[in-house]
Structure 1
Amino acid sequence: MLAWWESLDALERGFAFVAFPATALLLIQMVLTLIGLGHDADADLDLTIDIDGDGVPDIPDISAADAASIGDHDAGVGAGLQLFSLRGIIALFAVGGWVGLAFLRSGTDRGLAVLLAVAAGALAMVLTALILKSFLRLQYNGTLDVRNAVGLSGTVYLTIPPARSETGKVTLLLQERLTQIDAVTDCETPIKTGAEVVVVGVSGKTTLIVQPKG
């Protein structure tokens, strides 16, 4: 490995510096996904996935506007692609980094290699956005009722501030659909990203009330 690294020139090392951490983030997202899929599976399929660590393409997100029009299956689906999501950017760097490094190592002209790397990374970002939009469309194929989330387990996606001061987000499987839903907590301390929580109630039409699990 050291000999391989020493054989790289400055530009190749630059691509490697981009590719390695981005790939590591993708792998972490995959592991978190697998952990989430396996969690509570023996109970009642209260699965939790924190892909974004987004990682790993945002999971369909039920916002206040979405829930208010939950009977309208086109709400939110026709919106533009979210190209610059965290997952999309990670895909851009991971794919672009490895493609650039591969072309440079194969002897491709340096300028062309950079262009191909950027193109490949951009394509990966677009594909990620398309996948996310497909998940969103699937979510709206049926009616989601956030009240059905009470009692389910989930994973904190965005830190939930204490004492209902602001909303965070949790990721959970609701009616066999992976979703991100706004959440608050009555706890006096924030619940950090990645923490496991259980839904204990619903606030309004769109927000879950959660507490740390266990």
Structure 2
Amino acid sequence: MTTLALLTQVSQWWDELNLARQVFYGFGIIAGVVAVILAVLSMIGFDHHDSIDAIGDADTGDGGGIFSIKPLTGFFLGFGWAGGLALDNGLGLFAATVIAIVSGGILMGIIVAMFRAIQSMRSDGTVRIDDALNATGTVYITLPPSKGSGGQVVVSFHGRQETFAALNVTDRAIPSGERVKVIQIVDPRTVLVEPL
């Protein structure tokens, strides 16, 4: 089937619809086109933190706000197609409108839940020193005794290694290469350790 024949067939189908069906299917078609455009933009990386998507939910900006463009597109997609199909199956305008609103709301809720679930799985990759508490490591630069400064340790936690300034809780120096345990977080870049 050629493109011209397809367009002619779609045009004939549209002309045969009454006004109510045209309204429902119009919402569904426009929302479908917007959904395809959003999907393409997402695939090429142009949807992250866009200003349109943050409408109604400024703290996420990820499509997870109930009044952002992705859930609203989902609502109108469900609303339009469900309403049009309900009319096609012989239901009255009131029943079709109720079905359309419920279907749109369900699709909108699914989209919001999906984006929030995706957002909750994201990690910004920031190292939080509090996660190093009770982790083990190796002395990198000899730790002076009695909490003297100048020593460093390499600590392994959450599948990564980080180097921190370290204070030694014991009254003897801990040489480079010795294993230690983090027993306290002193500040954002310093830990207190004891030998294993």
Higher relative contact order (CA 8 A, sep 6+): 1
What TM-score do you get using the length of structure 1 for normalisation? 0.46
Max Rg structure: 2
What TM-score do you get using the length of structure 2 for normalisation? 0.50
